[in-house]
């Protein structure tokens, strides 16, 4: 991009929204976030170009307006920002993180992301858009959101209707909705612990264990939610987001528990259609009506205490309706052909919650790599 001459003279009236390059030496008062009218007559660039903004444009009106509030670095005094943003006036406190290029994936300071998240949550709540969607702010993806498409949900309704049992469907949708609402509210009213967890999630996307397994086969729901390792702020977010303090598991209510006829039991974590909860603290207690929500809601009281205490009793509590797979003697269920412990591997009960979490995560977190070997069934080929 060409360097903006006006910026060099210190008088660029587009500020952050300028199409030309502003060499980023210093975040001085060189730019002033200009409002919409100044760009009003800008020819046919009617749509928002992502290079000129990074995401904070939801409050903007029509589809062919451009956004007035560019939040590239809020510290610089962009347009209508909340008053809380001026706490990092002028200089970008995280300037070390900010890149010097105008690329699309410009690194924002984490606090900008947090503001973006809050704004997005607010919009999501008020706009009536589809709630069961994942959500992300570049570069990371936020956990705690279950991704379900309308077709999948509708199919569940139809199968429930065909089998005559709609109540289970309604319960599960209600639970999903509640879970969503609480997560959105939590992100919107960003408490300090939520903020920390969100920032660490965004900075370290690889540590997220996203195993969203919304089993959409006709025979019933099984929803899992991912929980990231940094879930300290989640509190009792209802069902779903691994709301444990340090051991963020992605417990996946095992779909096999519900009398579903599917035989595809993945034997490893995350493989196959459904992720298996390797440890027992989230018992996918499926109700006989083949929905998973009723059970876990009862015992998913997200506390580290629960986590550690149940590690030892880790077999998934067999769902009341009787499970088809999981309750075998070794307690893991799905590891069909592997011996539970052959000496090469550890049993689940030997591992602490943190170690189990590491094994079940997609990648190891540096500094917390367990010294003991993993359990056999967590090996994913």
Partner 1 sequence: MSLFGANTGFGSGGTGVFGTTTTDSHNPMKDVEVTSPPDDSISCLAFSPPTMPGNFLIGGSWANDVRCWEVQDNGQTVPKAQQMHTGPVLDVCWSDDGSKVFTASCDKTAKMWDLNSNQTIQIAQHEGPIRTIHWIKAPNYSCVMTGSWDKTLKFWDTRSPNPMMSLQMPERCFCADVVYPMAVVATAERGLIVYQLENQPSEFRRIESPLKHQHRCVAIFKDKQSKPTGFALGSIEGRVAIHYINPPNPAKDNFTFKCHRSNGTNTATPQDIYAVNAISFHPVHGTLATVGSDGRFSFWDKDARTKLKTSEQLDQPITACCFNNNGNIFAYASSYDWSKVQSQYTSGSVISGKSPSPAAVVH
Q: Interface residues with partner 1 (CB under 8 A)?
A: 44-51, 55, 57-65, 102-104, 120, 123, 126-138, 141, 147, 149-155, 157-158, 166, 170, 173-174, 177, 180, 210, 212, 214, 216-218, 262, 264, 273
Closer residue to partner 1 (CB): 5 or 264? 264
Distance in Å, CB of 262 to partner 1, minimum: 8
Q: Which residues contact 320 (CB under 8 A, 6 or more apart)?
A: 285, 286, 287, 288, 295
Contact 314, 280 (CB under 8 A): yes
Distance in Å, CB of 169 to partner 1, minimum: 9
Tokens of 108: 């924002």
Closer residue to partner 1 (CB): 21 or 354? 21
- Cα–Cα distance for residue pair 195/186, rounded to 1 Å: 10
- What is the three-class DSSP state of 136? strand
- Cα–Cα distance for residue pair 301/315, rounded to 1 Å: 18
Distance in Å, CB of 81 to partner 1, minimum: 15
Tokens of 342: 């052959």
Distance in Å, CB of 194 to partner 1, minimum: 18
- What is the three-class DSSP state of 372? coil
Tokens of 305: 């205490």
Distance in Å, CB of 154 to partner 1, minimum: 4
Closer residue to partner 1 (CB): 87 or 174? 174
Closer residue to partner 1 (CB): 47 or 86? 47
Distance in Å, CB of 35 to partner 1, minimum: 12
Distance in Å, CB of 13 to partner 1, minimum: 21
Q: Which residues contact 347 (CB under 8 A, 6 or more apart)?
A: 330, 340, 341, 375
Closer residue to partner 1 (CB): 103 or 192? 103
Closer residue to partner 1 (CB): 190 or 266? 266
- What is the three-class DSSP state of 17? helix
Closer residue to partner 1 (CB): 291 or 345? 291
Contact 276, 333 (CB under 8 A): yes
Per-residue burial over 54-89, b if 16 or more Cβ lie within 10 Å, else e, is bbbbeeeeeeeebbbbbbbbbbbbbbebeeebeebe
Distance in Å, CB of 207 to partner 1, minimum: 16
- What is the three-class DSSP state of 304? helix
Closer residue to partner 1 (CB): 274 or 359? 274
139 preceded by cis ω (within 30°)? yes
Contact 72, 53 (CB under 8 A): yes
Question: Judging by beta carbons within 10 Å of its beta carbon (0-12, 13-18, 19+), is residue 244 exposed, middle or buried?
Answer: buried
Closer residue to partner 1 (CB): 142 or 376? 142
Tokens of 26: 């210093």
Q: Which residues contact 380 (CB under 8 A, 6 or more apart)?
A: 268, 269, 270, 271
Distance in Å, CB of 112 to partner 1, minimum: 15
């Amino acid at each position: 991009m060409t360097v903006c001459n006006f910026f060099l003279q210190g008088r660029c009236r587009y500020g952050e929204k300028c199409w030309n390059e502003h060499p980023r030496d210093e975040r001085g008062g060189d730019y002033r976030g200009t409002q919409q009218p100044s760009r009003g007559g800008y020819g046919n660039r009617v749509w928002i170009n992502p290079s000129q903004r990074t995401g904070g444009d939801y409050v903007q009106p029509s589809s062919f307006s451009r956004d007035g509030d560019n939040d590239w670095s809020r510290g610089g005094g962009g347009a209508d920002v909340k008053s809380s943003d001026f706490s990092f006036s002028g200089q970008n406190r995280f300037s070390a993180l900010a890149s010097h290029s105008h690329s699309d994936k410009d690194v924002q300071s984490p606090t900008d992301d947090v503001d973006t998240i809050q704004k997005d949550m607010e919009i999501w709540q008020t706009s009536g858009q589809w709630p069961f969607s994942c959500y992300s702010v570049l570069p990371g993806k936020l956990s705690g959101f279950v991704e379900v498409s309308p077709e999948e949900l509708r199919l569940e309704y139809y199968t429930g209707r065909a089998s005559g049992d709609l109540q289970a469907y309604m319960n599960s949708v209600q639970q999903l909705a509640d879970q969503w609402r609480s997560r959105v509210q939590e992100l919107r009213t960003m408490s300090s612990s939520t903020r920390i967890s969100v920032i660490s999630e965004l900075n370290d996307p690889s540590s997220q264990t996203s195993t969203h397994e919304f089993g959409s086969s006709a025979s019933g729901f099984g929803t899992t939610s991912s929980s990231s390792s940094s879930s300290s702020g989640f509190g009792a977010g209802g069902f779903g987001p691994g709301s444990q303090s340090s051991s963020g598991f992605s417990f996946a209510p095992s779909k096999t528990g519900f009398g579903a006829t599917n035989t595809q039991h993945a034997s490893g974590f995350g493989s196959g259609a459904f992720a298996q909860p390797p440890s027992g603290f989230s018992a996918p207690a499926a109700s006989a009506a083949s929905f998973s929500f009723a059970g876990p809601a009862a015992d998913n009281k997200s506390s580290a205490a629960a986590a550690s205490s149940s590690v030892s009793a880790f077999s998934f509590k067999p769902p009341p309706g009787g499970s088809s797979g999981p309750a075998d003697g070794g307690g893991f269920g799905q590891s069909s052909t592997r011996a539970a412990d052959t000496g090469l591997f550890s049993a689940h009960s030997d591992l602490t919650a943190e170690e189990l979490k590491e094994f079940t995560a997609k990648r190891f977190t540096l500094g917390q790599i367990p010294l003991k070997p993993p359990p056999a069934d967590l090996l994913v080929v």
